[in-house]
Chain A
Amino acid sequence: MSQEMLAPLLCLIPAAPLLSAVITALLGPKLLKYRSHIPCWSALAVSFAASLAVLLLLPQQNSAATAGFIPPPDMVAAPEAESGAATAPAAIPTLAPTTAADKPEVVVYIGEWLALEPAPETAEVNPADTIPDKNRQRSGMRVPLELRVDSIASIMLAMVTGVSLLVALFGSGYMHHDPGYPRFFAAVSMFVFSMCMLVMSNSFVMLFVFWEMVGLCSYLLIGFWFRKPSAAAASKKAFVVNRIGDFGLIMAIFLIWTSFGTVDFAGVLGNPDRIQAIAATNSGVITLICFCLFLGAMGKSAQFPLQVWLPDAMEGPTPVSALIHAATMVTAGVYLVARCTPLFVLAPQAQLLVTGTGAITAAIAALIALTQTDLKRVLAYSTVSQLGFMFMALGCGAADPGLATMAVTAGMFHLFTHAFFKALLFLAAGSVMHAMGDVIDMRRFSGLRKALPITHWTFLVGAAALAGVPLLAGFWSKDEILAVLMAASRTGEHRLFFGSILVVASLTALLTAFYTFRAYFMTFWGPEKFPEEAGHHPHEATPIMAWPLRILAVAALLIGLAVGPTHLFSNTLAKTTGLTPFEAHFHLDVMALSVFIASAGIGMAWMLYVVMPKVPGTIAVVLKPFYVISQGKFYLDEILYVLVVLPLRGIAFLSTLYDRLVIDGLIDSLGTVPRVLGDRIRSLQGGVVTAYAGLMWFGLVVLVVICLGIS
C-alpha cells in the first residue's frame, strides 16, 4: 500500500470534524438550528470510515520500499523511520530495537507551526560558536504541524471516531429540543477534531496543543448548561485542576527539549540511541521527564489526588460524560504514558509511581462508588477506578523491562474495551435519566426493567462487561492486567510491591463487580417506582437513542473476544515504536481468579439488593464511620480545599493587603518626602525682613569662622 493513498485519508480524519465544527458554529444558531446534528453526523461518519481504512491499510504499509521517497514540499508523506535514521547515524544496540519494516508509520507534513531554527547562513557567519556559553546553544524550537499514524494511534483513532459517532447519534435524541442544540454539536465536533489531532500528533508540543484543546472542549461541554451554578463551578474546576497536570507536561516538554534538542517523537521516542546516551550521562533527567509526564497524565486521566474534577464533570450532558469523560479524553493520559514507553522503561521509579498511583486511585474510587446513590456518579467513580487499573498495568515494566510491552498492551487493551462498555453504561444511564425526567438519584426510581426493556438489557451487558463476566469485553482486558501484575510480582526486586498491588487490584475488581451490580439492581430491579418528574408512563429510548445502545452492547459483548484471545490487539499494538512483540499466553490461574471475583461481587450485590434489600441499610448503620467516609467521597474535595484552595486564597488576600499597605504605602510616603522637606524650608522664607537679616548675620559669622580656620 502506498503512502500516497494513506495521506489524504489521514488528513480527512481530523479535517471532517473541524469543518463540521466551523459550519455548525457559524450557521448553527441561525440556519441549522435543530438540524445541527447533520454536519456532525456526516463528519464523524467520514472520520470513522477513514480511521477504519487507516487501521486496515496501515499494517500493509511497507516502509522499506518507500524509504527513498523524497517528500514534495507542500503535502508530504514520509516514513518516520527515515528521519529517525537521519538524526541517529550511530547505531548502538539497545533495549528496544526498532526496524522500519515491522513498525509501519505514516507521517503527513502539513506546514510549519512554530519555527525558530536559525537560518543556516547566520550560523555560518558566526565563528565564535565554539565558546562554551549556554546562551549560545542554537538548538532552536521547531514544531511542524504533522499528522502521524502508527499502530497505537490507528487503534485509538478507530475507537475515538467510532464511539464519537455513536454518541453523536445518541446525543441528537438526548439533546432533542435543548436550546443549545447547535452549540452541543459544534463543541462535540470540535472535540473529535482535537482528540484525533492529539492522537495523531508527531511532537510533544503539538500533543500539548491538542491536549489543551480537548480540555477546552471538556470545559465548554461540562459547563454546557452554564445557567446552573453547579455546572459553571464544575467546568472551572475541571479546567484548573487539569492545568496543574499541564504544568507537569510543560515542564516535561522543556526538559525533553533541553536534553534532546528536539520535541519530535521521532527524535525522542524513535531514537533509542539518544535516550540511552542521555540516560548514561544523566539518568536523573529521564526519571524527571517521566515524573513530569506522569503529572500531566494524572491531571487528564483523573488520578489521585487530581481526580477531584471528574465526578463533578458529570454536570455536563450525559452523552458528553460518555464520550469525553469516560471513553476518550480521560484516557489521553494513559495513551501518553503508553506512547512514552521508551522513556518510562528507563525510569523504574517513575513506573513504580505510575503503578502505585493507579492502585491508590482505583481502590479509593471503588470504595467511594460503593455508597453513591447518583447513578452517573457511580459510573464516574468507576471510570476513575478503571483508569487506575490501566495505570497499574502500565508501570509493571519496573519489575522487569521485558514486561514493559506486556504491561503497555494490558493497559491499552483495557483502555480500548473500557471505551465501549463505559460509553454504553453512560448512554444507558442517560436513557434512564431521559425517561425519568432528568432524575438520576437511584433512591427515587427502581424496577425499571419492564418500563425500559432496551435500556435494561444494554445496561446489563455493560455492567457485566465492567464486572468482568467471562467472555465479555472487560473480562479479557482486566485479566491481562491481573496477569501482568502477577508476572511482575514474581520477578525483580519489587516483588513485594507488585504483590501487594495485585492484592489491591483483585479486591478492587471485587468491589467493581459489586458496585456495578448494586447500581444495576437498584435501578432495574425491585418494585417499579418512578419519580413524579417522569410522568406516569416513562418513555423508552427513541430509535435514534436505542440503536447506539444496541451497537455498543454488541461491541461490549464481542469485542474482547474478537481481539483479545485472538491476539489481534496485542499483535497490532506491538508494531508501535518502542514496543517489542511478545509471546502471549493464557493465564488459567488468573482467569480462575477473575471468574471467582466477578461472580462473588455480582452474587453479593444480588444477595444484598434483591434477596435481602433490608440488609444494606443495616450494614450502613453498623459500619457507620466507614459508610460516612465513603458516602462523603473520603472528603477529598474538602481536604484539598482546606490544604490548597484556602491557603492560596489566604495568601492572595494577604498579597493585596501587602500591596496596598506596604508596597504602595512605601511609595506614597516616599512621595511625601519633597513636601515635608518643602514645609521645613518654607518656614525660613516667612517674609519677615528681620529674620532674613538675622540669617545673613549668622551666615557671615559662619563664613568668617571658616575662613579663619582655613588660613
Chain B
Amino acid sequence: MQALLFLVLAIPAATAVLLMLFRSSLTVDNSRWVAVTGAAGTLLLSVFLLASYYATGPAALETGKQLKVSSAPATAVIKPKIEFVQPWLDTGRLKLELYLGIDGISVAMIALTALLTVSAVLISWEAIRDRAAEFYAALLLLQTGLIGVFCSFDLVLFYVFFEMTLIPLFFLIAVWGGRDRKWAAVKFFLYTLAGSLVTLSGLLYLVLYVSSQPEPLTNPTNLPALTAWLQKFPLTPELQTTLFLAVSAGFLIKVPVFPFHTWLPLAHVEAPTAGSIVLAGVLLKLGTYGFLRLCLPLFPVAAVTVGLPVIGLLSVIGIIYGSLCALAQSDIKKLVAYSSVAHLGFCMLGLFALNTEGITGSVLQMINHGLSTGALFIIVGMIYERYHTREMSELGGLATKLPRIGVSMVFISMSSIGLPGLNGFVGEFLSLAGMFKANPLYSALGTTGVILGAWYLLTAVQKVFFGKLREPHHGEHGDHGDHEIEDMNAREFLALFPLAALCLFIGVRPAPLIDIIRPDVELVVERIADASAKAVPGAPAQPSAETAEAAAAEL
C-alpha cells in the first residue's frame, strides 16, 4: 500500500521528466502516447488504491473501533490511514519529514485527479501539435503537484506541492493558451501566489509559535502531531482568528471565494481545454481541501466564530453573484467558468456548516464539480475545436448536426444543475442541508442558486444545441472551410464517457463514496465540536490554555 502511494506520485513525475529529457527527439505522436501511458498508469494505480482502501475497511465501523481503543482524549486523532514517512531533516530541535499519507478524503481526490488527467490528455490529442512533449510534461507535472497536495500530511510538503502546481499551469496558459494568454497567466500566477504567501506567513508563525512553547513539538510541521498538540494546548481565540484569516488567504483566492474570483474566468477563457479541465476540476479544490485539511482542524474555534458567519456569507454571495454573472455571459466557456464560482460557493457553504452533513456534502461537491465541470469543459472544447468560436450567438441547433455531443451536453448539464439521480444533487443537497442546520438563512439564500443554475445552463443548452442549425461562416477560417464537421469520435468519447458514467453512478448510488469520506469528515467535525465546547465562555479555564495565553502574551 505504501509503495502504491509512492508510485501514484512518482509515475506522473517520472513521465514528465522523461518527456522533458527527450523532448527534442519525440514526435507529437510519440509524446502523446507516452503521456497517455503515464496518465493511464497513474489512473490504474489510483483506482487500485481507492479500491483497496475501500476494501480494507477504513469505513465507518473500522474508525469506530479505532476510536474506542484510543478513547482517552475524548476525540479521535486526525491521522492518515495509510502513511509513508521518511525522515528528511533533523536538527534536534526541528524535525522535518517526508510524510505522505492518505485518508478517505484524499484517496477520492487523488482518483479524481488521475481520471481528469487522462481525459485532459485525450482531449488534447489533436488540438496540441506545437511543442507537444513540453505540453504533456507540464500537464503531468501539474498532476504530480496536485496528487502531492492531496497526500501531504506535513505542512512544508503541503506548501511545496501547493506552490508547485502554479508553475506548470502558468506555462500551460502562457504557452498554449488563447489570444490574451500572457496577461491571463501572469495574473493567475501573481494573484494566487500573493494569497499563498500570506498563507505561508500564517503557517510559519504557527510553527514557530508551537516550537517556542514550554512543551514544544519537535516536529511542528507534522500535521497529525500538530493537531494533537493544539488539541492539548489550544490557542487563544484571538490568535486563532488571526492565524485562521492569514492561512485562509491563499485558499480563499484559490477556491475562489467572492470577491477574490476575478482571475478565474480570465484564466479559463485563455487556458487550453486540458488546462481548464484540470484547473476547474482539481486545482480549485486545493482551496477547499486546504480549508478542510488545515484551517478547520488547526483553528476550530475561529472556524466557528469567523468562518461560519463570514466565509459562509461570502459563499452565499458567491453562489448568487456567480450565477448572475454566468447568466449574462455570451461566451460559453466564460459561462462555465462563472458557474464554477457558484458551484464552489455550494462547496464552501457545506464546508462551513461545520457538521457531518455539510462537510460530507462539500467533499462530494468537490468531486462532483470536478466531474461535471470537467466534462462541460471537454464539451466546450469539442465545440471550439470544430467551430473555432465559443460565442453562443454564432452557434445554434448543434444537436441536429452533432447529436452525440448534444446528448452529452444535456446529460452533463443536468448533472451540473443538480438533478437528482445524477451526482450534482447529492453534494448540493447535503451541503445545503448541513448549512440549514447551522444557519437557515444562508441555506435558503444559497438554494436560490439552484433556480439560477438551471436558468443559465439550460439557456446555454437551448441557444447552442436547440432550435435551428446555425454555424459560423467557414470562410473566416480558411483551413477549415472544406473540413467536414463530424460528431464526437471514439477518442473524445473515451475522454468523456468515464466522467458521465461516474456522474450517473454517484447519483444513483452515493453510499460507497460517502462511506469512504465520512469517517474522516467526522473526525474534523468532532475536533471542531470538542474545541468549541472547550472554548465556551464561562467554562472553567484550563491550565494549558492559560499557559498558552501567557506564552502568547510574551511573543
Q: Is the CB of B262 within 8 A of A659?
A: yes
CA A129 – CA B528 in complex, angstroms?
A: 13
Q: Chain B residues in contact with chain A, CB under 8 A?
A: 60-61, 63-65, 67-68, 71, 74-76, 187, 190-191, 259, 262-263, 304, 321, 324-325, 327-329, 354-357, 360, 397, 399-400, 410, 414, 419-421, 425-426, 429-430, 432-433, 436-438, 440, 443-444, 447-448, 450-451, 454-455, 458-459, 461-462, 465-469, 509-511, 514, 518, 522, 525-526, 528-530, 532-533, 536
**A244: chain B residues within 8 A (beta carbon):** 451
The answer, yes or no, to whether A213 is at the interface (CB within 8 Å) is: yes
The answer, yes or no, to whether A457 is at the interface (CB within 8 Å) is: no
CA A246 – CA B437 in complex, angstroms?
A: 19
Q: Is the CB of B262 within 8 A of A233?
A: no
What 19 new A-B contacts, CB under 8 Å, besides A122-B63, A243-B455?
A: A113-B511, A114-B511, A122-B522, A128-B529, A137-B437, A220-B410, A227-B469, A232-B467, A244-B451, A246-B451, A247-B447, A247-B450, A254-B443, A258-B436, A648-B327, A651-B324, A652-B328, A659-B321, A671-B191
The answer, yes or no, to whether A135 is at the interface (CB within 8 Å) is: yes
Q: Is the CB of A135 within 8 A of B462?
A: no
Q: Is the CB of B511 within 8 A of A116?
A: no
Interface string of A110-128 (1 = CB under 8 A from B): 0111111011111011111
The answer, yes or no, to whether A60 is at the interface (CB within 8 Å) is: no
Rank and list the top 6 A-B pairs by shortest CB-CB distance, nearest first.
Answer: A121-B64, A232-B466, A209-B420, A652-B328, A664-B262, A254-B436
Q: Chain A residues in contact with chain B, CB under 8 A?
A: 111-116, 118-122, 124-128, 131, 133-138, 140-141, 205, 208-210, 212-213, 216, 220, 223, 226-229, 231-233, 235-236, 239-240, 243-244, 246-247, 250-251, 253-254, 257-258, 648-649, 651-653, 655-656, 659-660, 663-664, 667-668, 671
Q: Is the CB of A122 within 8 A of B518?
A: no
Q: Show 25 residue pairs from A and B whose CB-CB distance is below 8 angstroms, ordered by the A residue.
A: A111-B511, A112-B511, A113-B511, A114-B426, A114-B430, A115-B511, A115-B514, A121-B64, A125-B76, A128-B530, A135-B525, A136-B529, A141-B430, A205-B429, A227-B469, A228-B467, A229-B467, A243-B450, A247-B447, A250-B447, A257-B433, A258-B436, A648-B327, A652-B324, A655-B325
Q: Which residue of chain A is the closest to B459 with respect to CB atoms?
A: A236
CA A125 – CA B262 in complex, angstroms?
A: 46
CA A513 – CA B458 in complex, angstroms?
A: 39
**B65: chain A residues within 8 A (beta carbon):** 121
Contact flag A246-B325 (CB < 8 Å), given A113-B510, A216-B419, A667-B191 = no
Q: Is the CB of A135 within 8 A of B354?
A: yes
Q: Is the CB of B414 within 8 A of A216?
A: yes
**A112: chain B residues within 8 A (beta carbon):** 511
Contact with A116, one of B354, B356, B414 (Cβ below 8 angstroms): B356
Q: Is the CB of B451 within 8 A of A229?
A: no
Contact flag A663-B454 (CB < 8 Å), given A122-B63, A229-B468 = no
**A115: chain B residues within 8 A (beta carbon):** 511, 514
Contact with B526, one of A126, A220, A239, A247 (Cβ below 8 angstroms): A126
**B63: chain A residues within 8 A (beta carbon):** 119, 122
**A656: chain B residues within 8 A (beta carbon):** 325, 328-329
Q: Is the CB of B450 within 8 A of A250?
A: yes
CA A235 – CA B455 in complex, angstroms?
A: 11
CA A124 – CA B397 in complex, angstroms?
A: 59
CA A80 – CA B445 in complex, angstroms?
A: 36
Q: Which residue of chain A is the closest to B465 with respect to CB atoms?
A: A226
Q: Is the CB of B356 within 8 A of A118?
A: yes
CA A220 – CA B536 in complex, angstroms?
A: 53
Contact with A239, one of B75, B458, B522 (Cβ below 8 angstroms): B458
Contact flag A233-B462 (CB < 8 Å), given A115-B514, A116-B360 = yes
CA A121 – CA B190 in complex, angstroms?
A: 48
CA A119 – CA B324 in complex, angstroms?
A: 41
Q: Which residue of chain B is the closest to A29 with respect to CB atoms?
A: B403
Q: Which residue of chain B is the closest to A127 with respect to CB atoms?
A: B74
Q: Is the CB of A140 within 8 A of B356?
A: yes
Contact flag A655-B321 (CB < 8 Å), given A112-B511, A240-B451, A664-B262 = yes
Q: Is the CB of A226 within 8 A of B466?
A: yes
**A240: chain B residues within 8 A (beta carbon):** 451, 454-455, 458
CA A112 – CA B509 in complex, angstroms?
A: 9
**A655: chain B residues within 8 A (beta carbon):** 321, 324-325, 328
**A240, A244, A660 — which one has the most chain B CB atoms within 10 A of its CB?**
A240
**B529: chain A residues within 8 A (beta carbon):** 128, 133, 135-136
CA A77 – CA B451 in complex, angstroms?
A: 38
Minimum C-beta distance from A569 to chain B (A):
32
**A227: chain B residues within 8 A (beta carbon):** 397, 400, 466-469
Q: Which residue of chain B is the closest to A216 with respect to CB atoms?
A: B419
Q: Is the CB of B325 within 8 A of A659?
A: yes
Q: Is the CB of A135 within 8 A of B528?
A: yes
Q: Is the CB of A649 within 8 A of B71?
A: no
Minimum C-beta distance from B538 to chain A (A):
12
**A116, A227, A251 — which one has the most chain B CB atoms within 10 A of its CB?**
A116
Minimum C-beta distance from A641 to chain B (A):
13
**A113: chain B residues within 8 A (beta carbon):** 509-511
Minimum C-beta distance from A231 to chain B (A):
8
**B75: chain A residues within 8 A (beta carbon):** 126
CA A343 – CA B533 in complex, angstroms?
A: 36
Contact flag A131-B420 (CB < 8 Å), given A116-B360, A240-B451 = no
**A138: chain B residues within 8 A (beta carbon):** 356
Minimum C-beta distance from A144 to chain B (A):
10
CA A247 – CA B321 in complex, angstroms?
A: 18
**B324, B354, B425, B426 — which one has the most chain A CB atoms within 10 A of its CB?**
B324
CA A161 – CA B324 in complex, angstroms?
A: 41
CA A127 – CA B459 in complex, angstroms?
A: 52
**A236: chain B residues within 8 A (beta carbon):** 458-459, 461-462
Contact with A246, one of B357, B450, B461, B468 (Cβ below 8 angstroms): B450
Minimum C-beta distance from B345 to chain A (A):
14
Q: Is the CB of A119 within 8 A of B61?
A: yes
Contact with A254, one of B400, B440, B461 (Cβ below 8 angstroms): B440
CA A226 – CA B525 in complex, angstroms?
A: 48
CA A243 – CA B455 in complex, angstroms?
A: 9
CA A649 – CA B454 in complex, angstroms?
A: 14
Q: Which residue of chain B is the closest to A211 with respect to CB atoms?
A: B420
Q: Is the CB of A116 within 8 A of B525?
A: no
**A208: chain B residues within 8 A (beta carbon):** 420
Q: Is the CB of A649 within 8 A of B327?
A: yes
Q: Is the CB of B64 within 8 A of A122?
A: yes
CA A246 – CA B419 in complex, angstroms?
A: 11
Contact with A121, one of B67, B410, B420, B465 (Cβ below 8 angstroms): B67
Q: Is the CB of A209 within 8 A of B321?
A: no
CA A140 – CA B325 in complex, angstroms?
A: 35
Minimum C-beta distance from A630 to chain B (A):
30
Q: Is the CB of B533 within 8 A of A128?
A: yes
Q: Is the CB of A114 within 8 A of B514?
A: yes
Q: Is the CB of B420 within 8 A of A229?
A: no
Minimum C-beta distance from B522 to chain A (A):
6
Q: Which residue of chain B is the closest to A210 with respect to CB atoms?
A: B420
Minimum C-beta distance from A332 to chain B (A):
14
CA A232 – CA B355 in complex, angstroms?
A: 41
Q: Which residue of chain B is the closest to A209 with respect to CB atoms?
A: B420
